[in-house]
Structure 1
């Protein structure tokens, strides 16, 4: 029995393009609207401030801010592991530069932007990756069944995440993309949202209190072999692990397991 039939999950075959996502998702839409209001604020400042020297100074600062932002965008494009992390970084730098430019226009305008960004943070959350690849979303009962039933995959790599964790959102693309490359009859990939099933955390030795308090951070990846845990990342007592596809592949030996499966 494969993972999709076991869970009854219907995977999305036609996800929205990234530009459509930026427009449709409230989190990104609110930020875009906030950034576009700068042109109105600047226009008002130009009408109020009649000094040409002030206009030229503001224009120079704007050019410097745009150039610095473009440099950071290029650097982050090379370093960022996922699209969600890249967009989160761009929005952060964009808000910093926008706030700095607003200070040059008027302190009250800067305060309005600060309040606006706090409101966006309160009412909207960055969406996680909606692609599942060859992974599947599981309930604790489904996972227990898959780990114990005869004929199930020998290995299960399961990601324990929470939708309220910004780190989980930034890394939500890792497991689905890994599953596309490494999923086979020998190893399957699953996701459990501890926000929906908090009682599941204790069973697998995951401290939600530590995660919320800045100790043990989610997501946590656990590899099961015939229903028994054989590896996890971050390891117990090592909560500052840097997570990436390369790190996950190396830690859980995904390349070796794929070669072992192909060899028969």
Structure 2
């Protein structure tokens, strides 16, 4: 089902236009009629030289490393994480071939970025966005019968951006009065990161961090550290999050034990003791 959904997204302009731009130089080199048209004065321009091969090989390594760090676990998130690097590499290659082509590609690059922003998740969600660390603490203590799943994130981190629609879908599927979902931007509120021992640096491997709170206290988090303090890599896919926090059993448990609200009115009259 996830793969089918990804293929549907590929028909959105943002994805197919960026895929075309990412492969534009290679396609122009490998299609004889197009290569001949772009380089009518040369018979050798239709083959990749050593410098071009080095740039493409380096690009492949960078994309693999960066998308892995970004936690890209689906085809769409992998593509989204790689587009910037592939387009920058294409700018370099087009400039290497001809300055005029490099300038044209650069203009197209900018226009696509302005006119075709990456599609964002627009489905249902049941998430409370905390504006301060104190607001989160107050909510955790307000009613300790509520189990909270809270994501600590930053707006600029690719892994957080990839996880956002996953967390939104989970919140829509599992939300109950006693099972709630929250988010707090530790880029804007670093005191929350400090309090919960989360590094918010640009090189941090703790973004995003999802923490489960029960009875107002932390009981589980991902990613977590081993006995030696080494951070364990965690891929934030929907299935992995469900398994890590046992969401199906937790949901059934919370549903069987709903929060019983105190009755202030009994038989149409205020209860007096």
Answer yes or no: is the 8 Å Cα contact 2:81–2:158 preserved in 1.
no
Structure 1 residues 108 and 230, CA, compared in 2 at 3 Å: closer, same or farther? same
In 2, Cα distance between the equivalents of 1:22 and 1:135?
29
The yes-or-no answer on 1:242 pairing with 2:232 is: no
Which residue pairs with 2:40 in the alignment? 50
Change (3 A) 1:198 1:33: farther
Q: What are the ranges of 5 or more consecutive residues in structure 2 without an aligned counterpart?
A: 1-7, 49-55, 57-66, 258-273
1:168 and 2:123 correspond: no
TM-score, with normalisation over the residues of structure 2?
0.59
| Distance in 2 separating the partners of 1:183 and 1:171 | 17
Displacement of 1:176: 0.7
Q: How does 1:119-198 map to 2 (within 5 A)?
A: 129=121, 133-140=125-132, 141-150=134-143, 154-198=146-190
- Cα distance 1:89–1:256, how it changes in 2: closer, same or farther (>3 A)? same
Answer yes or no: is the 8 Å Cα contact 1:84–1:171 preserved in 2: no
> Aligned equivalents of 1:216 and 1:91: distance in 2?
21
Change (3 A) 1:132 1:202: farther
**Residue pair 1:132, 1:176 contacting (<8 A) in 2 also:** yes
Distance in 2, matches of 1:35 and 1:255, equals: 40
Instruction: Please give the TM-score of this superposition, normalised by the length of structure 1.
Output: 0.61
Q: How many Å separate the matches in 1 of 2:233 and 2:106? A: 30
Larger relative helix fraction:
1
Q: Do the aligned residues in 1 keep the contact of 2:179 with 2:254 (CA within 8 Å)?
A: no
Structure number, greater radius of gyration? 2
**Aligned equivalent of 1:229:** 218
Aligned-partner SS, 1:163: coil
Q: Secondary structure at the match of 2:125?
A: coil
Unpaired runs of 5+ residues, structure 1, are 1-16, 59-64, 66-75
Shift of residue 251 of structure 1? Answer: 1.4
Cα distance change on mapping 1:241 and 1:19 into 2, 3 Å: closer
* Greater RCO structure (CA 8 Å; 6+ sep): 1
1:256 pairs, out of 237, 244, 249, with 249
- Cα offset, 1:34, TM superposition: 6.5
